[in-house]
Amino acid sequence: MATAAYQIEGGTNDDGRGATVWDQFSSWPGKVFQGHDANVTCDHYHRLDEDLDLMAALGLKAYRFSFAWTRLLPTGTGVVNPKGIAFYNRLIDGLLKRDIQPWATLFHWDYPLALYHRGGWLNSESPQWFADYTRLVAENFGDRVRHWITLNEPQIFVGLGHVSGAHAPGLILPPADIARITHNVLLSHAQSVGILREHCGREACIGWALAIMPPCVAKEFESDPEVVHAASENMFSFSPSKNMVSGSSLWCDPVFLGRYPEDFVSHFERNLPLGWENDLRAISAKLDFCGMNIYFSSGFQTRDEDGNIRFVHPERTAPGAPRTLFNWPVTPTALYWGPRLFSEHYHVPIIITENGISGHDWISVDGKVHDPHRIDYTTRYLRELRRASSEGVEVQGYFHWSLMDNFEWAEGFNQRFGLVYVDFVTGERIPKDSAFWYRDVITSNGAMI
């Protein structure tokens, strides 16, 4: 199962933690649903032992979490906060004591506010800031953590944070600035990988996690090679538009192929730093896996009544198709086509680092939380992932999002993704029906799906 520091920890003003861009963003009227903030959220910072025992009771074999950058380095650089080091030592040691493998994410969106005031990802020094932070983490925890994720969803924290302004830090920047940010983010990832290799040794397993909304092939055309090819072209094309950061190729071509898309270079080379070509060697350093956060498909590749290949939105192929509380379409084959197309294009092992559903969850009159929709959703998606694996896609793992209900960014507490229900007033945890079901899935290694 998976979580992120900002979404569950709380304790934003406790024990020397520094401010983040999300602390500032949440304080702006109208930015977060009903003015919610993450000052307490699940209070994981103060209820760590309780949550560790809960993970053990649910049979977790691996737990994906993130470090809060400003809990370790309150201003993003410089003076280290020993209480932050102590907290993550307790977390990691507590996981290992319970035979739960720690999977650590270095950056899950909670950028230090002090560094944002120095230009944030636009600053050419930002890769060095991230490198210094990575070195601190590796030196303190690399003796026990073997599995690492450098960045979570650069498409989202750049796109929603710096293009649309819907997420922190709430900026709406021109494409030229987005090109600079993209290069700085990729270089930050690259430097982080190098430091993890240096400090964590040959046993280190290193990747990153991308937001993927893959095109799927309509069921009746799955054996049509032209339609499948069109889906792949759709997934890995690049357009120098306002939304250029939302796709896969801008991020993955440099990392897995050692080059930027040609159209990106032709439009934005003048906005990249001198010597950017030399950075590509470091950016394309080998990863052990690519994490994919997949919740739904962007649409379906199909043929129309005249036999022409078309791409259509899920609602167009099936009017009234199911949707989650987040209004996301339920498209289980995304967990087949995403890994398959990605594996065929980049030839890299896949781990599903996030997949889950926000639903209408509440405590029933019997005191329990019944969520058959989540069990059904996850069953359907896992079956498709197993299909991909059975056909030769190298799928190395699956993390369900999320362990517990939490602060869902600009949605505040309006969305419940957890297998464990959280009362955000009292802090009480109540495992939902899906939690016990998922425990059995883990025990059977998916055989019951």
Query: Which residues are catalytic, by number?
Result: 153, 354
Kind and range of the H or E run holding 315: helix 314-317
Cβ-proximal residues to 445 (8 Å cutoff; 6+ apart), any chain: none
SS3 216: strand
Cβ-proximal residues to 100 (8 Å cutoff; 6+ apart), any chain: 52, 55, 56, 60, 61, 62, 63
Cβ-proximal residues to 183 (8 Å cutoff; 6+ apart), any chain: 272, 273, 276, 279
Tokens representing 229 are 């090819």
How many helices (H) does the chain have, and how many strands (E)?
17, 12
> Closest by alpha carbon to 205, among 102, 131, 109, 294?
102
Is the bond preceding residue 402 a cis peptide, omega within 30 degrees? yes
> Closest by alpha carbon to 235, among 349, 286, 311, 154?
311
Angle at 279 between CA 354 and CA 233, to 5 degrees: 50
> Closest by alpha carbon to 179, among 307, 106, 265, 113?
265
Question: Burial, 444: exposed, middle or buried (Cβ in 10 Å; 0-12, 13-18, 19+)?
Answer: exposed
299-303/309-312 β-pairing: antiparallel
Cβ-proximal residues to 447 (8 Å cutoff; 6+ apart), any chain: none
Question: Burial, 230: exposed, middle or buried (Cβ in 10 Å; 0-12, 13-18, 19+)?
Answer: buried
Report whether 315 contacts 192 (CB < 8 A). Answer: no
147-152/205-211 β-pairing: parallel
Report whether 29 contacts 428 (CB < 8 A). Answer: no
Q: How many residues does the chain have?
A: 449
